[in-house]
Structures are given as structure tokens and as C-alpha cells.
Amino acid sequence: MFNQLGVIGCGLMGGSFALALKRAGLVKRVIGYSKSPTTTERAKQLGVIDVAAESALLAVAGSDIVLIAVPVAATEATFKAIRHLVEPGVLFMDVGSTKRDVVDAARRVLRERLPAFVPAHPIAGKEVAGIEHADAMLYAGRQVILTPLMQTDPTLLQKATDVWAAIGCQVLRMSAENHDAAFAAVSHLPHLLAFAFFSAVAKQPAGRDFLSLAGPGFRDFTRIAASDPTVWRDVLMSNREEILKQSQRFRHTLDALEHVMKQGNSEALEGLIRDAASARASWQMQQPKAGGNR
């Protein structure tokens, strides 16, 4: 149980975390700050936060848990704004989709205050951004990855684990490096491909007619192409090395498929499709076990 949650960045992710903690009875009071005063005010009107703070630093003052839910590219500036109030015993977390850049920024800015920071990436989201879409159930049934450092305070790491588990997440731990390699493959590259594919279809002369014929397969394949441009600009930029590596792998597989198509080699094409289809058919999204924590 926490006395006060400080949310820096009252958007979908930060707002949903506040609502989830309230719903679970894990926090007495939520204080929130957003760069735009209108957003902070809106968060208060919607009952997502109880108190509007006038700065990031003021959202930290008096809080025993702080969630930094700003775009990844704004994380370092946020650390700088709050570093004087990063006290031992207070749990600081972020929600960024990339972790090496966040960890690097934390090392640079927080220094001796680094142990208070537990880097976190909840695997949850919506295609709609903003505090209006904040949802107490956004994180329920999802995975959250913690990428602690050698210096991370074990007590705070346990607290972080407990709070995510309490709002229904399965909690995993790994290094920031492994995290970024994995998410380049299973999240960042699919977004890049979906953006590229949707633009390629939409921008061609007959694109409008083509789009009117698209069915459920297309709908699901392109769903993530509607993701927030600011968030994804930052993700693609900050993890670009791993993403470009994964894109190379993808291009090689695509080349192989197109090669057998050009050759007219039906048998080889069927073999390649069968590999993909059977692997996909046997894959299932991980669901948290009862109790959540592992």
C-alpha cells in the first residue's frame, strides 16, 4: 500500500496505472503532472488524478511511488527535472517500450540515486492515446518486463514486482539488452512493417479503391499501423540498431519467398509457407497464471 502515487505524464499509460492502483486499493492519493496544463486539468476532471502538480518535481514531492510515463525521448529531461527529489526508499519506474536508452539516461542523470529506479515495460497499450482512454484494466492479464540494474535496490525491485502483480500483470525480469533485442523482433519491427505496408497501399493511385475491398485479414494485419506517431517515432529511433537487424532477417526471408515465386517453384513455396503457418499455428500468446507473479 502506498500513500501517494506521482504520475509524470498523464496519458494512456500513466492514467491507466493510476486508475489500476486506485481500483486495487493500493494508493491513497494520486498527484499528476503533464507538460500540457490542459491535460493535467483533464486528468483531474476525469478523476484519474486527485491533485494537479505544477511541475514534475512537485509530482515527486511527498510521493512514495512515482511513475514516469512520458515519451521515451523525454525520459532523460524528466530525470533531470526530478533528480533532486529521487530519495532512497521511493520507488521510481518508467513504462518505456525501449530500455537501453532509458537505462543509459538513468545512469547519466541519476548517478548515486540510480538504485531507486526500476525500469519497467508493461506490454499493454491501445491504438488511441490520451488520458481520455485511460483504463483501470489496461494492464490486467498483461506481461510487464522489469530490467533492473546491478545497482537497483532489491527492496524496491520487490515492491515493483508486487505492485504490477497486484494489478494483474505477469512480471518478468531480464537485461535491458535482451529486452530491446526481443522487442525489436516481436513489437518494433511489426509496427515498422505495418506503417510501411499501409502507406504503400494507401499512396498508390488506386489505393482508395483497393482499401474499400480489404477484409478482416487486412484489418488485423494493419491494426498497429494506427499506433501513436510520437510514441513510435521515439521507439523506432531509440532501438533502431536492433530493429534494423531484425528487418534484415525479415528481408532475407521475404527474398527467399519471392525467389521461389519467381522461379515458379510451387513445392518450395509451399514448404516455406508451411514452416511459417505451422509455427504460427502452434504459437500462443502467454497468459499470466493465476497469481500473476513469477
Interaction residues for a copy of itself, span 122-181 (CB under 8 A) = 123-125, 127, 142-143, 145, 172, 181
Task: Enter the C-alpha cell of residue 21.
Answer: 492502483
| One residue of 189, 242, 288, 292 binding a copy of itself per CB under 8 A | 189
Q: Select 285 or 290, whichever has its Cβ closest to a copy of itself.
A: 285
Binder of a copy of itself out of 52, 73, 102, 103 (CB under 8 A): 73
Q: Is 206 in the site for a copy of itself (CB under 8 A)?
A: yes
According to DSSP, residue 83 is labeled: G
Name the segment binding a copy of itself (CB under 8 A); options: 47-55, 108-116, 158-166, 189-197.
189-197
Whichever of 73 and 118 has its CB closer to a copy of itself, that residue is 73
Pairing status of strand 120-122 against strand 143-146: antiparallel
Site for a copy of itself in 219-248 (CB under 8 A): 219-230, 232-234, 236-237, 240, 243-244, 246-247
Q: Which stretch binds a copy of itself (CB under 8 A): 60-68, 74-82, 100-108, 192-200?
A: 192-200
CB of 138 to a copy of itself, least distance (A): 11
Contact assessment for residue 113 and residue 89, using Cβ atoms and an 8 Å cutoff:
no
Q: Give, as one character, the DSSP assignment of residue 293.
A: B
| E strands, the chain, in order | 2-8, 27-33, 51-52, 65-68, 91-94, 117-118, 120-122, 143-146, 170-173
CB of 115 to a copy of itself, least distance (A): 26
- Per CB under 8 A, the segment of 59-67, 111-119, 157-165, 199-207 that binds a copy of itself is 199-207
Contact by Cβ (8 Å): 168, 140:
yes
Number of residues that bind a copy of itself (CB under 8 A): 91
Instruction: Give the Å distances, CA to CA, from 186 to 139, 180, 221, 252, 278.
Output: 19, 10, 14, 17, 18
Q: Shortest approach of a copy of itself to residue 236 CB, angstroms? A: 6
Using the structure block, give the residue that is written with the C-alpha cell 535496490.
153
Q: Return the closest-CA partner of residue 72 out of 35, 43, 103.
A: 103
Instruction: Return the residue matching grid coordinates 524496491.
Output: 156
Shortest distance, position 46 Cβ to a copy of itself, whole Å:
22
Determine the Cα angle at 246 with ends 241 and 251, to 5°.
125
Contact status: 43 vs a copy of itself (CB under 8 A): no
Taking alpha carbons only, the member of 68, 63, 121 closest to residue 93 is 68
Pattern 249-288, binding to a copy of itself, x per CB under 8 A?
A: xx-xxx-xxx--xx-x-x--xx-xxxxxx-xxx-x-xx--
Nearer to a copy of itself, 149 or 272 (CB): 272
Judged by CB under 8 A, the residue of 25, 154, 213, 291 near a copy of itself is 213
All three cell numbers of 185, joined, read 523482433
Q: Which of 72, 60, 193 is closest to 121 using CA atoms? A: 72
Residue 68 beta carbon to a copy of itself: minimum distance, rounded to whole angstroms: 20
Question: Judged by CB under 8 A, does residue 289 bind a copy of itself?
Answer: no
Task: Name the minimum Å distance from CB 158 to a copy of itself.
Answer: 22
